[in-house]
A and B are shown apart, each in its own frame.
Chain A
């Protein structure tokens, strides 16, 4: 048959998964998505758009009806107008109406009918019900689970008559752990050590490896990338001239926070309201850079009121996406169409930030690099301060073997002391008046004045802070207090994202919208338990991560049989692990690491890799000249690369890194010719290949066989098989012949980039191994997490 593509295939999958799970209809799982997608736009929370005064998002509304007599009669589908209308043939009568371009599928109609027959039970949206701990389900395959997470996965699989996949082989497993937790490949030595330990006791070996990885400073670098995507961290202002802004210490703060395992509630408080904490530390002030990450402009002719409205909305979108997994931003001009957020909620939530003076830069913002975005602070980061203290101690002790040693330490200290960086911070001022802007119109002054408040419908169970004028700190506490606030909901949003980091898809698919239009979780009880576990562990991030990556579910092979692919193409049931292309930064770090070029420096100002000339030619105010770093900063990790919002480095862009103009909770994983050309021809990768080539020749052994094995071990943690040797052999012969007869070409290739060009190697041989190295760096396997 010819493949026709269903427009919303996830619905089909979702339906088939849920239907087989239980014969009884569950409102949140089965009915709400249908009503929300097809009916709520006209019969939902937004009273202005409501037709026939009928709302179907509440039991009361649906049973009392508006202008209709009996829209839904519980237990009596045949007497329910809703059922009559959805099955109607007349275009004037049928619901949803044709001009809505919505159409119910026969299966959906039957479900609605069944639900009404079963009593039309409504349930609070799962999103807003505080998570509670559920009993761990029993399973038949008792030997499989390694912790309680597995019980939930396995119980569901057993219910579906599916078996989990066998454990992944040890090489895949150790690579998976390293990529997931550090964003770096394991060294051949690390692979061997793991293999040895695992043959004795696999689970103990995994636990040791995980502890070791969680303690590595590279762990924070890897996790920071995800957080920086959420909060839209970037090195430039985003709008108009896209000038540099001073903010990199905030990025280092985030890395530190993950490495030091700062409890997530404290992490939240420091970012939203570090300045309001009693005697805030420097790091807490740096953390308040969060409130400054939005895009800003000082374009000549910006109208202050318009931009204040733009900034206001930007904040609400981000805060609600990040901490609430909600799209409160949609309520800017009208009540939310699908979720119970009102326009008033939108403005009340934004009012928490009314004490941030964001108008200063309209006047003082300069076309300099960096531009001025007061208030700013000159700081040393935590690590830098520690290092300074250590050096000072060393000097004070005065025990040096030679005066040169002493001078070295003094020089290092002086350099560090000079290396203070500016960073944007938050300083509370007299809050400005916040009015509801009718239909989002910033020219309209007629709206009601609102005070900071948390969304009204959530405040029934989680009262808005009672202080005279609630502050950002009150909001942060509300987000993280599971008893007085919505801490449980926040924990669930985050736990779902941690899951995504280690399994490739969230338990609830949407990572930034748990609202009615999001998708109900596939394993709701598991997600609840993870959320409860998270806050009950005092928001211990590493604890949750350890729990997930030491589970049996995590350990599974990612290979899939055609039958399983057919049955569960998006791997929502976790009868296997997932496999996917590495993220942009990891692709870079991986190549640099394999070649040996990667620098392990921690923190600091952003790094500038090679970039096509003229890439910034469309920037102005001022015109931009990009100079890549001509020293070792060239080979820093991707997390440190200069993030130019308007013109993100083409390599990062080609591999789906976001511009960070808005919150990104899940990056796409595309596969384009542009990406292929980047990996083939970007000087960063060509240089990595030629330095890798040099490494192969110097350290890889004498024979070509040994050298190829060495290269494969470095890049793929395994040795090549016969066929691979043969393909590589042919490429080798061809390249060798060409470079021997074209010595100039050989010299050109081995001179790519700025790394020193070895003078003691035969250029033709070096260029030939560079070609092999390029092939290896371009293999799917090299940049896939399996």
Chain B
């Protein structure tokens, strides 16, 4: 073993213990040293864990479009004629007895018919009038109508969707994926989060949703901001030019290297690499987030105005991040919590998200990138078939059945999968639990979810947990 190998080995051992992760720096350091300690023979993923991928990966990255607040499946993709027939009548007790209920606790439950019309596309696909652009890309989508989650309040439901458990502090799926496969970008984080707002009563989103939990912290999601510094502290202090900052970082580097001649501390080498990458990020991040040089027709296709922080701009940034090799890109659009005024707010939310989502998919497709990307669309849960009236007709939180869609590499487009019962209450056919979604996502990335674990508190922790989870073969091409 030469010194580089030893160092690489040491650093990786440290980072693997989880308790002492050396972070981001190690991969950068190793590539600086012209060595890559990870993943000899693992093919397309130079920073993957040994043994990963477990099988041929269909996709390289995931773009997760989270419609935060919980869009109504009954006004998007799940058409139930009986719901309209029973409109205004009491909700049959057989559906709701003994079931968890959120804000409608203690209220009289009555059926709320669809607040929109549907058209049929592909095999069993229905898409509502709220989503005209979705109709244009129906042939690309696999709509899953039989989702199931376990948490009925926003905060724990997001935590559940992102980490597979409602207990705080576990790693999010983006962190898991980066931990397993590594980042393909040398000057950007492998997990980027962006948010936008617009709709009813934006629910809070906690940073734990993109936390790394017990995985090394370099795998945690980095939030890109639409105002101020695109990433916290990425901008030089006022009065410090780029060349000054460069000289400073180089001096720190020289001093650390000099010091290390005396103390021979592998950590110092990792820190030097971290500083170099930080310095690179100070250029690469502003470059990436500056979309002003995008051609006009592209900006128009998304409906993005540079720097407006909209979902449209975030979709455009998502494409740019994907091009740079970012592994997991997550967008939150906050505004889908439609306890009342559902029609009005669906118009707002869909108005803000429908076209940009279409643009993102189309743009990826025309660049030949859709087939190596998985796009996931959906909220943390769905909404009740029952009426709620906080300022006009609306719907309460609902977890027993709701819709999401998948598109991109390895996905059977133009199809629908699974069904809820006749009133859209419970998923009844081909149920897809959140864990199954995770398992399927990992599968497409070449990871067997059962074999992808890390020891924490003495347990082999997995994204999919200990309960059974399955790869949903029915959505795969």
Contact = CB atoms under 8 A, between A and B. Distances in A.
Interface in B430-463: 450-451, 453, 455, 457-459
B277 A3 contact: no
Contacts of B453: 101
A433 to B, nearest CB: 20
Contact of A775 (B13, B152, B251, B271): B251
Contact of A671 (B154, B254, B267): B267
B309 to A, nearest CB: 9
Nearest to A747: B239
B85 interface: no
A135 interface: no
A784 B266 CA distance: 13
A674 interface: yes
B126 interface: no
Interface string B83-114: 00000000000000010111101000000000
A587 B360 CA distance: 42
Interface string A301-328: 1110010001000000000000000010
Interface string B205-224: 11110010000111000100
A58 to B, nearest CB: 19
Interface residues of A, number: 114
A91 interface: no
Interface string B319-339: 000000000000000100000
A566 interface: yes
Contacts of A459: none
A190 to B, nearest CB: 23
Contacts of A191: none
A582 B166 CA distance: 32
B44 interface: no
B240 to A, nearest CB: 6
A1 interface: yes
Contacts of B252: 775, 778-779
Contact of B13 (A299, A569, A676, A677): A569
A502 B54 CA distance: 41
A297 interface: yes
B232 to A, nearest CB: 5
Interface stretch (B255-263, B286-294, B347-355, B401-409): B255-263
Given A4-B40, A242-B206, A668-B21, A560 B459 contact: no
Interface in B347-371: none
B472 interface: no
B458 A516 contact: yes
A748 to B, nearest CB: 3
Interface string B387-414: 0000000001100000000000000000
Interface string B223-240: 001011101111111111
B216 to A, nearest CB: 6
Contacts of B234: 677, 681
A242 B204 contact: yes
Interface string A1-26: 11111111110000000000000000
Contacts of A752: 237-239
Taking residues whose C-beta sits less than 8 angstroms from the other chain, chain B's interface range is 35 or more
A678 interface: yes
Given A101-B451, A310-B166, A680 B239 contact: no
Nearest to B4: A3
Nearest to A728: B251
A128 interface: no
A589 interface: no
A540 interface: no
Interface stretch (A263-271, A388-396, A466-474, A731-739): A731-739
A303 B21 contact: no
B455 A775 contact: no
A397 interface: no
Most buried by B among A4, A562, A615: A4
Nearest to A666: B19
Given A4-B50, A512-B457, A560 B270 contact: no
Nearest to A565: B10
A79 interface: no
B225 A614 contact: yes
Contact of A241 (B18, B23, B204): B204
Interface string A642-656: 000111101001001
B184 to A, nearest CB: 16
B301 interface: no
A559 interface: yes
Interface string B244-276: 110111011011101110011101101100110
A401 interface: no
Contact of B458 (A302, A515, A617, A648): A515
Contact of B274 (A239, A669, A675): A675
Contact of B237 (A672, A728, A742, A749): A749
B228 A620 contact: no
A76 interface: no
Contact of A443 (B22, B28, B98, B455): B98
A670 interface: yes
A668 B105 contact: no
A746 B239 contact: yes
Given A9-B16, A517-B459, A774 B23 contact: no
B169 interface: yes
Given A510-B458, A612-B229, A780-B256, A670 B216 contact: yes
Nearest to A777: B252
Nearest to B101: A303
Nearest to A615: B232
A301 B103 contact: yes
A683 B268 CA distance: 24
A283 B259 CA distance: 48
A676 to B, nearest CB: 4
A246 interface: no
Interface in B23-55: 23-25, 28, 37-38, 40, 49-50
Contacts of B450: 99, 101
Nearest to A690: B237
Given A661-B168, A662-B168, A670-B23, A735 B247 contact: yes
Contacts of B20: 668-669
B299 to A, nearest CB: 24
A299 B21 CA distance: 35
A773 B154 CA distance: 46
Contacts of A547: none
Contacts of A284: none
A36 B455 CA distance: 13
A647 B233 contact: no
B264 A670 contact: no
A646 B207 contact: yes
B376 interface: no
Nearest to A752: B237
Interface in A565-587: 565-566, 569-570, 579-581
Given A648-B207, A727-B258, A240 B155 contact: yes
23 contacts: A3-B5, A5-B9, A5-B13, A10-B17, A240-B153, A240-B204, A299-B153, A306-B100, A327-B457, A580-B267, A613-B227, A618-B195, A646-B204, A656-B217, A659-B168, A677-B233, A677-B234, A731-B247, A734-B244, A746-B239, A775-B252, A780-B265, A781-B259
8 nearest interchain CB pairs? A517-B458, A748-B239, A301-B102, A749-B239, A661-B168, A676-B278, A646-B206, A670-B23
Interface of B: 1, 5-6, 8-10, 12-13, 16-25, 28, 37-38, 40, 49-50, 98, 100-103, 105, 152-156, 166-169, 189, 195, 201-208, 211, 216-218, 222, 225, 227-229, 231-241, 243-245, 247-249, 251-252, 254-256, 258-260, 263-265, 267-268, 270-271, 274-275, 277-278, 281-282, 334, 396-397, 450-451, 453, 455, 457-459
Given A646-B208, A674-B278, 12 more contacts: A9-B17, A301-B396, A310-B166, A510-B458, A513-B457, A562-B6, A659-B169, A672-B23, A678-B233, A681-B237, A727-B251, A734-B244
